[in-house]
């Protein structure tokens, strides 16, 4: 009896070591090189873009000036990270269940990359710690730090600021000194068909991209 108990313990220990080794290998393979010039970074982007392209598959509805206020928190084709897969993906729909925003995200520790696209634009987010660099259609767009979005480049002009208050269902977004929109807190959804963002006034094309970038950062979690 003792022999079988001893043998069982050996099997369990060996199994734990094997699982631990595979987990470590998976984590090492999933690490993201955040140097934009590195082959690893380009390979990461290529992989995420392929996933987004497969998700969208030409089915995203055309983006127009109404879409920002119609974007909902509901998703389709959701795929969550697995044991050997650190990628999450899905498609956000409008409040009318139309596919409008496809995304793929890869995270490893305190770093992460998000590729998200509508029918007419692509966002890339490179997250490291509390700082996130953002590209729009392949061009540097901004840097999000804490609650502020700064313009890319030497000027670091303040583009927008989010007011996040614990327990609040909406996060106010300020452009300049005025609140122009609010982003829904995904953790406090009380509706089966919640809007992702509520606009308080008409916005320009640049302001629309600013608000969409911030919304993606908040809701892709």
Q: Does residue 21 sit in the same domain as residue 40?
A: no
pLDDT given at position 211: 98
Q: Does residue 4 sit in the same domain as residue 108?
A: no
pLDDT given at position 45: 94
pLDDT given at position 3: 54
Q: Does residue 73 sit in the same domain as residue 116?
A: yes
Q: Does residue 108 sit in the same domain as residue 195?
A: yes
Tell me how many helices (H) and strands (E) the chain has. 4, 12
Q: Does residue 118 sit in the same domain as residue 213?
A: yes
Q: How far apart are CA 82 and CA 78, in angstroms?
A: 13
Cα four-point dihedral sign 190, 196, 202, 207: positive
Q: Does residue 25 sit in the same domain as residue 39?
A: no
Q: Does residue 122 sit in the same domain as residue 169?
A: yes
Q: Does residue 118 sit in the same domain as residue 19?
A: no
User: What is the count of structural domains for the chain?
Assistant: 2
Residue with tokens 């970074």: 41
Domain that residue 5 falls in: 1-30
Calculate the alpha carbon distances from 132 to 110, 114, 145, 202 in Å: 11, 10, 7, 27
Q: Does residue 126 sit in the same domain as residue 209?
A: yes
Q: Does residue 128 sit in the same domain as residue 197?
A: yes
pLDDT given at position 19: 39
% of the chain surpassing 70 pLDDT = 84
Q: Mean of the pLDDT values across residues 20-24?
A: 40
């Amino acid at each position: 009896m003792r022999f079988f108990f001893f043998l069982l313990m050996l099997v369990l220990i060996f199994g734990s070591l094997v699982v631990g080794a595979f987990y470590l290998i998976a984590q090492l393979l999933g690490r993201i090189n955040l140097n934009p010039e590195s082959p690893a970074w380009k390979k990461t982007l290529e992989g995420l873009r392929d996933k987004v392209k497969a998700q969208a598959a030409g089915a995203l509805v055309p983006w127009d000036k109404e879409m920002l206020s119609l974007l909902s928190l509901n998703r389709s084709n959701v795929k969550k990270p697995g044991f050997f897969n650190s990628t999450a993906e899905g498609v956000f729909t409008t409040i009318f269940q139309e596919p409008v925003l496809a995304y793929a995200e890869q995270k490893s520790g305190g770093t992460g990359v998000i590729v998200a696209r509508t029918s007419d634009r692509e966002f890339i987010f490179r997250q490291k710690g509390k700082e996130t660099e953002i590209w729009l259609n392949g061009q540097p767009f901004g840097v999000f730090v804490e609650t502020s979005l700064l313009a890319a480049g030497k000027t670091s002009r303040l583009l927008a600021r989010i007011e996040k208050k614990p327990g609040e269902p909406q996060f106010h977004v300020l452009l300049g000194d005025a609140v122009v929109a609010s982003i829904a807190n995904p953790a406090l959804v009380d509706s089966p068909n919640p809007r992702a963002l509520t606009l308080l006034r008409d916005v320009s094309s640049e302001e629309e991209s600013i608000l969409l970038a911030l919304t993606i950062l908040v809701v892709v979690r």
